[in-house]
């Protein structure tokens, strides 16, 4: 006959295995949900920033605008924003690929450089080139950033200035 200790040991071990499997399953699914939300939020942020910057470019006069973007991408996590040509961004960040050299992009990158999303602002032309004061311009989501558009000598200059820190 089997001892009661062996029966209890087998039952306890089985319950622990089931408990660890449930905890692992819930943990993996929760992490995947957070990662998907972060990707979607980064996509929304870059699309919003690209729209704001395209709006500046459509105006036919000199103009300045304070960029609007959320302080955190998800659950207290801040992110970096890059604005620049594809070539300059790829030279600075080796993990970002598949950008066109002649195109100006806005990119949102999480602080671990694991996840990023990009959107096109404009394709640079030779008739009226778009020049950035810094290429690429990098700033954090916790900053107040102003973009100045200056039209001079048939060129469009974008001057991106970090004015201060936002407090959430």
pLDDT of 68 higher than 90: yes
Q: 90 near 105, Cβ under 8 Å?
A: no
Task: Write the pLDDT tens digit of every residue in 73-107.
Answer: 988 899 999 999 999 999 988 889 888 888 999 99
76 token code pair: 């207290």
pLDDT confidence tier of residue 1, bands split at 50, 70 and 90: low
Query: What torsion do the CA atoms of 47, 53, 55, 58 make, to the nearest 10 degrees?
Result: -130
pLDDT of residue 167: 79
What is the maximal distance between C-alpha atoms in the chain? 97
pLDDT of residue 26: 98
pLDDT of residue 168: 65
Q: d(Cα 136, Cα 73) in Å, to the nearest integer?
A: 21
Q: d(Cα 114, Cα 2) in Å, to the nearest integer?
A: 54
* pTM for the full predicted model: 0.84
Mean pLDDT value across the chain: 91
86 token code pair: 């594809």
């Amino acid at each position: 006959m089997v001892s009661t200790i062996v029966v209890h040991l087998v039952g306890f071990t089985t319950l622990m295995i089931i408990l660890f499997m449930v905890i692992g399953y819930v943990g993996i699914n929760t992490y995947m949900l957070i990662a998907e939300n972060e990707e979607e939020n980064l996509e929304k942020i870059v699309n919003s920033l690209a729209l704001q910057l395209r709006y500046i470019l459509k105006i036919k006069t000199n103009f300045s605008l304070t960029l609007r973007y959320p302080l955190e991408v998800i659950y207290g996590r801040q992110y970096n924003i890059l604005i620049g040509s594809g070539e300059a961004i790829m030279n600075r960040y080796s993990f970002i690929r598949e950008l066109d050299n002649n195109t100006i992009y806005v990119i949102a990158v999480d602080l671990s450089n694991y996840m990023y999303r990009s959107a096109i602002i404009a394709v640079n032309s030779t008739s009226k080139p778009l020049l950035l004061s810094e290429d690429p311009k990098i700033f954090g989501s916790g900053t107040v950033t102003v973009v100045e558009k200056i039209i001079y000598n048939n060129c469009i200059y974008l001057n991106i200035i970090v004015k201060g820190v936002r407090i959430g």
